[in-house]
Amino acid sequence: MHLVYPVVIAALLFAVGVYGVLARRNAILVLMSVELMLNAVNLNLVVFDMRWADRLHGGQILTLFVIVLAAAEVGIGLALILLIYRNRQTVDVDRLRTLAEGDPDPEAGSMTDDEGVRR
Amino acid sequence: MIVVAAVAVVLPFAAALIGMLFGHTVSHLLSPLARRLRTPAPGASRRGALVLARRMPANGPALIAVLPVAASTVLTAVLAADQLRDPATHVGTLTRVPTGTASVALSLQVDGLVSVVALLVCCVALAVQIYSVAYMRDDPRYSSYAAFVSLFTAAMLLVVLSGDLLVLYVGWEVMGICSYFLIGHYWHDRATSRAAVKAFLVTRLGDVGFLFGIFVLGLAAHSFQIREIIGRVGIMSHTALLAGTLLLLCGVAGKSAQFPLHTWLPDAMAGPTPISALIHAATMVAAGVYVVARLYPAFWFAPASLAVLGVIAAISMLGAALAALAQDDLKRVLAYSTISQLAYMAAGLAVGARDGAVFHLLAHGAFKALLFLGAGCVIVAVGSNLMSAMGGLRLAMPVTFWSMTIGFAALAGIPPASGFFSKDTILSQAWKAAHDRGAPPAGGRISLEPLYARPDLQGRPAGFVAVKAKARDLMGAPVPDIPSWVAWLVLITGLLTVVITAAYCTRTWLVTFFGERRSAVRAREATPLMRWPVAALAIPALILGFFGLGSAELRPEWGMAVISLLCAAAGAGGVYLVWNNDPALDPVRLLGPLRPVLRAAFYLDTVYDVAIVRPVRALASLVVHADERVVDAGVEGSGRGARRLGGLLRVTENGNAQAYVSGLFAGVVLIVVAVVVLT
């Protein structure tokens, strides 16, 4: 099998993941897109491990590590999303603007105006 | 003697300290005792116990204030008696404070001049303290008031007794601050607190010059000790002497309320009346004249300073007397007359009558304290400061009436009261100065320099005395080397002032005590504690003049005495005739359109307001404006600018995590592209 097929597939998967992270609004879908990107990387690792075929199969071992890490990451991510949902009744990342500093208000001199969720 | 003097200074100081800290504690300690005295013990005479109880009220601050001043009075009387018996100069130095150049000596000096002035200060302070016990009885802050009066007394005694100019300056400043606090005793009244600030600032203006004058004289003489400065006036450079004495005159004009800096004194009458009597009539304002008398040899060798002093005195004398004529407030009449009388002393010093000036200082201290305390009695009785509310008090208040009659006689220079003798001494000396200058003796101007060029006289404290004796041999009494027109000016304004002084004394006396009663209040004689100090001060006011008969310099000269008596009679008689036409009206009405001008003291306050106060305020508001609009605006503007600049970057920080990641991704792409393209 030519190397180009799996690499292109991995690239497409990664692109889909990037698109999902950048464009989806649902936090769960964003998390899934992250998983897609990780899996694209995994695919690359496996493909190039086969290609180089070194004795230790470092690529496959690293893939296993990445899968474990991805599982842990998804656990934490889902927990965060669950808590956000409980607190805010939404998982729409466009509405979660708490990271932003409040509107600049030079006269009052206050830097933070923690009103990101106010609609 | 020095120890006695030191104790006399320290006693009122200690009284001030204790009174300030423990005044009310002592009252509490005394109250059971007073109560026991009020309930008569069995066996004791009931009447005696009652009298004792009334004599000894449970008033701790009063006891703390009065007793030490009484002790100081006794001590200064001892000093004066000792000087009378054996005139000598005692100097005692506690320690010397090294300063790098001329050291400061913590020393006291006692001589004839010092001891009599100290006695005057103590007597007046004692009378005022006793008077205040009654006058300020209902005042909640009497304790601090009495403590400040004590502190003032201590400071004045320090000024009088100090043997060192810088120590003198310490007392001088303490007096200034006490004056500020006491004028502002009723600080909740806005006018009063403004008067206090005005007094403080105006005298402070003069004090700056005074301090530098001390420096100039002290550095020129390599010593701040008065005795050594006086001893070295002959060998000092003329420039230093002239500069030093002129600078000293600034302080003298400020403290003694002379012409350019006099405006604080009439306003200072806003304070309690006993304070006006003590500080603004009898003692503190005399300090300026006293310092000139103390350093007289220095002024003697700088005749230009004496000429300046004479001109200032002539202006103050006549202007203040005219202003006194038109006032309606009894205390302001007395305030302007104080300026006028202090100007007499300054004029006396200017024409060489040092002893006469000191004589007038003593007499004035006695009769002006008397007049002010009497005025306090009248004001309490009538309930108003204004003379338009007085009148017909002669029968209601006999003690006050007779005492104040003596006081007014002394002020106007009617014999046999003391003012006549002292004023006459000054006027006759002015005549002598004018006359001798007008027709100079064969040698032309009398130059005293040759005497001081003699090596055997150099640096000797006795030098001045020798010169004085020598000069007296030549022409009877020494005349300083002032231009003759100054002497003529002093003489003529002096005589004019005698006329006007007599006029305003008569007017005040008549309007206050004679004629119809003008207010509905039923006036009653003041309480004994207020009445008797007034009556006691009447004695020195009446007889002090006769003490001058013992000295050749102070004996009145008949020619001048008759002239000044005629002048006084003219002024008094004129006012009496006007008043007699219609006793219900104020004789001052004849001044017509001049009256408001005189009443406002030639609008000098307004002139100062326009020329100094308003420009300074405008400048201040300009500075504030610049501070707000330039300095502050710069600081705030830079902050606002930084914030606005940050606002541009803030646009990207919108809280959308996806936008952040997009940025990140775009960055990665850019880097990758760059790496690919560039490598």
pLDDT digits (tens, 9 = 90+) for A36-46: 999 999 999 99
Position B534 pLDDT exceeds 90:
no
- Give A-chain residues touching B648 at CB under 8 angstroms: none
Helix (H) / strand (E) containing B584: none
Tell me how far CA of residue A35 lies from CA of A75, A77, A93, B57, in angstroms.
12, 11, 17, 99
Cβ-proximal residues to B241 (8 Å cutoff; 6+ apart), any chain: B217, B220, B233, B298, B301, B302
Of B644, B657, B665, the CB nearest to A18: B665
CB-based contact B377:B393 (threshold 8 Å): no
DSSP B526: P
CB contacts < 8 A (A, B): 38
Cβ–Cβ below 8 Å for A97 and B650: no
Position B476 confidence tier, pLDDT thresholds 50, 70, 90: very low
Give CA–CA dist B253/B367, Å, rounded.
22
Q: Residue B222 region, left (φ>0) first, then alpha (ψ -120 to 50), else beta?
A: left
**Is A54 inside any structural domain?**
yes
Q: What is the pLDDT of residues B318-371, one digit of tens each?
A: 999 988 888 888 888 899 999 999 998 999 888 888 888 888 898 898 888 888
What string of H, E and C letters represents the secondary structure of B331-388? HHHHHHHHHHHHHHHHHHHHCCCHHHHHHHHHHHHHHHHHHHHHHHHHHHHHCCCEHH
Q: How sure is the predictor about B461, in pLDDT bands with cuts at 50, 70 and 90?
A: very low
Residues of A in Cβ contact (< 8 Å) with B664: none
Answer yes or no: do A22 and B661 touch at CB < 8 A.
yes
Domain assignment of residue A48, yes or no: yes
Shortest distance, CA B654 to any CA of chain A (angstroms): 5
User: Which pLDDT score is estimated for B447?
Assistant: 40
Minimal Cα distance from B638: which residue of A? A106
Q: What is the CATH number of the domain that holds A74?
A: 1.10.287.3510
| Average pLDDT across chain B, whole number | 82
User: 């004495």: which residue's tokens?
Assistant: B245
Which secondary-structure segment (H or E) carries B177?
helix B165-183
**Is A12 contained in some domain?**
yes
0.90 surpassed by pTM = no
- Rounded to two decimals, the ipTM of the complex is 0.76
DSSP, collapsed to helix, strand or coil, labels residue B92 as: strand
- State how far residue A114 is from chain B, nearest Cα, in angstroms: 11
Which residues constitute the domain of residue A70?
A: 4-94
Percentage of chain B surpassing pLDDT 70? 89
Residue among B267, B255, B244, B262 nearest B155 (CA): B255
CA angle at B607 for the pair B605 and B609, rounded to the nearest 5°: 70
Whole-Å CA distances, A109 to A102, A116, B536, B640, B653: 11, 18, 72, 10, 18
Q: Is the pLDDT of residue A33 over 90?
A: yes
**Contact (Cβ atoms closer than 8 angstroms) between residue B104 and residue B164:** yes
Distance CA B675, CA B501 (A): 107
Question: How many domains is chain A built from?
Answer: 1
Cβ–Cβ below 8 Å for B657 and A100 = no
CA gap B646, B638 in Å, rounded: 12
Tell which residue, B223, B182, B212, B221, has the closest CA to residue B199.
Answer: B182
Residue B442 confidence (pLDDT): 36
Q: Which pLDDT belongs to residue A4?
A: 92
Q: Out of A21, A22, A98, whose CB is closest to B655?
A: A98
Cis peptide before B528 (omega within 30 of 0): no
Is the CB of B476 inside 8 Å of chain A's CB atoms? no
Residue B279's pLDDT is: 82
Backbone phi, then psi, for A117, in 5-degree steps? -95, 0
**Residue A109, domain member (yes or no):** no
Which among B599, B572, B611 is positioned nearest to B320, based on CA atoms? B599
At residue A105, the pLDDT reads 52
Could you tell me the pLDDT band of residue B39, with boundaries at 50, 70 and 90? low
Look at residue A115 in the predicted model and tell me its pLDDT.
46
Asked if B672 reaches chain A (Cβ–Cβ under 8 Å), the answer is no
Chain B residues in contact with A99 by the CB 8 A cut-off are 653, 655, 657
Is residue A101 very low, low, confident or very high in pLDDT (cuts 50, 70, 90)?
Answer: low
**pLDDT at B122 > cutoff 50:** yes
Which residue type does B127 have? A
Residue A77 lies in a domain: yes
Asked if the structure places residue A9 within a domain, the reply is yes
Q: What's the gap in Å between the CA of A97 and the closest CA on chain B?
A: 4
Under 8 Å CB-to-CB from B421, ≥6 apart: which residues? B359, B363, B415, B545, B546, B548, B549, B554, B556
pLDDT of residue B102: 79
- In the predicted model, is pLDDT for residue A8 greater than 60? yes
Q: Given this model, what pLDDT does residue B464 score?
A: 45
Residue to mutate among A34, A95, A101, A114, with most B CBs inside 10 A, is: A101
pLDDT in tens, B169-224: 999 999 989 999 988 888 888 888 888 998 898 888 889 999 999 999 888 888 88
Q: What average pLDDT score do residues B18-32 get?
A: 76
Is residue A17 in a domain? yes
Q: Taking an 8 Å Cβ-Cβ cutoff, which residues of chain A contact chain B?
A: 18, 21-23, 30, 93-94, 96-101, 104, 106, 116
pLDDT of residue B416: 79
Q: Which residue, B215, B5, B209, is CA-closest to B109?
A: B5
Determine how many CB atoms are found less than 10 A away from the CB of residue B47: 9
- For B655, the 3-state DSSP assignment is coil
Query: Is there a domain that residue A117 lies in?
Result: no
Q: Inform me whether the pLDDT recorded for B123 exceeds 80.
A: yes
Q: Which residue of A has its CA nearest to B652?
A: A100
